[in-house]
Structure 1
């Protein structure tokens, strides 16, 4: 009986965490949307949301009947160890890079077969690429995605490629050739690859063991970031990423 109770409690915790994770892509979600995203019956989701609301982890807007993350989430985030958090530790260096190049600078970490933007410093230019923090993107497209795959161990790289979303257009031969070129250059570029009108260049940040810990990216409109400009910025980004790697160590 105790084992059953324990399993039931663990399952409830897992489901509550799944609910909170649905807010990584959107700020406001209704009961039906959350239920659909995590594949649970609305009555179950409603019970869990009620508990999360009582504890301050979500807030319900009575006018729209939609939920958003509550103040408790931000309280927890505020107590993260800043010395261990690359998003906090590297922010001043990212701001300096933004000031030097004039474009939006982003920091990505790999999570499974996705990358997540954990920090961003927006360009000060009138026409700019806005990069919201917390966005998850596939590993099959984009400069930062290719960096995170290209510099991963070979076995891990092959496993990641096998798991790519089949719905996203993907040519394996071309992709593998790109990875080889990226390793040789030390950086990756993308030109309207994931998003029309946008271009980016990215370089790896390595940890003390020589493993890729994050991807540093500079992105902006193609009107300013031509193919030639991207390749000019590449070595600048490699140098900045190397300095950030030292900071993390």
Structure 2
């Protein structure tokens, strides 16, 4: 006999999986959603109908594709701006962008991944475009080094056990970079994850000195050179410290 409670929970999980499909896409067809969540079209159709009825999804009549509905934005508007770093720190991020002239991002750790929760794009013609909501691995990149270096020791131990954790010289190099980040108070990366891109990141601590996020500045590697990043480091660290004082 099937437990009705388990069926209900499973339906909720599947509905949430459908909504999460839109973290990296604005419009999706029934077939595309079905493929992403690994469910039969008939099941997905029923779940989408429920989400439509509550305003979480809307269907475009001409393309027959779905997109997020206004109810999602109503929920987002209900978030406390005093508690949400993505909202609270945005003016300071814009201020930093205007000083260094490059794209500024805010990352938080979620398990063994990092998520970009806010971004302010550079005003320069050639720039690195950072998309909010993107999930990235925790073992590469300046922000990853910060989120590991200044997190609880258990985070690094958990990362070491991951199948994605690099082996051999790459592992030792990453561990050395983490030690260097702790010593300097910031981390850098040049073309580690993306060809032609460079980044520098610093930790944001709250008033209890608990790591909240990584503040990153990124741009083209030919402009954001190691020399330039070292020059910008005190500015970025100071900005991160200032942002930390704003967080309860």
- TM-score normalised per structure 2: 0.93
Quote the offset at 1:126 in angstroms.
Answer: 1.2
Quickly say closer, same or farther: Cα 1:80–1:30, change in 2 above 3 A: same
Quickly say closer, same or farther: Cα 1:166–1:187, change in 2 above 3 A: closer
In 2, Cα distance between equivalents of 1:77 and 1:169: 43
In 2, Cα distance between equivalents of 1:33 and 1:167: 32
Match of 1:67 in 2: 66
Match of 1:118 in 2: 117
Quote the offset at 1:65 in angstroms.
Answer: 2.8
1:97 aligns with 2:96: yes
Quickly say closer, same or farther: Cα 1:18–1:146, change in 2 above 3 A: same
Quickly say closer, same or farther: Cα 1:164–1:183, change in 2 above 3 A: farther
| SS in structure 2 at match of 1:123 | coil
Deviations 1:173-192 (A, max 9, x none): 11111111111111111111
Quote the offset at 1:123 in angstroms.
Answer: 0.9
Structure 1 residue runs of 5 or longer lacking an equivalent are none
Out of 87-96 and 155-164, give the one that drifted further.
Answer: 155-164
In 1, Cα distance between equivalents of 2:160 and 2:245: 29
Deviations 1:146-190 (A, max 9, x none): 110111111221102322536999821111111111111111111
In 2, Cα distance between equivalents of 1:131 and 1:182: 23
Confirm or deny: 8 A CA contact 2:116 2:132 kept in the other structure. Answer: yes
| SS in structure 2 at match of 1:149 | helix
Confirm or deny: 8 A CA contact 1:144 1:201 kept in the other structure. Answer: yes
| SS in structure 1 at match of 2:3 | helix
Confirm or deny: 8 A CA contact 1:216 1:241 kept in the other structure. Answer: yes
The Cα RMSD (Å) is 2.0
1:87 aligns with 2:86: yes
- TM-score normalised per structure 1: 0.93
In 2, Cα distance between equivalents of 1:65 and 1:140: 39
1:25 aligns with 2:31: no
Structure 2 residue runs of 5 or longer lacking an equivalent are none
Quickly say closer, same or farther: Cα 1:101–1:136, change in 2 above 3 A: same
Q: How many residues align?
A: 248
Confirm or deny: 8 A CA contact 2:103 2:121 kept in the other structure. Answer: yes
Match of 1:44 in 2: 43
Match of 2:162 in 1: 163
In 1, Cα distance between equivalents of 2:31 and 2:142: 35
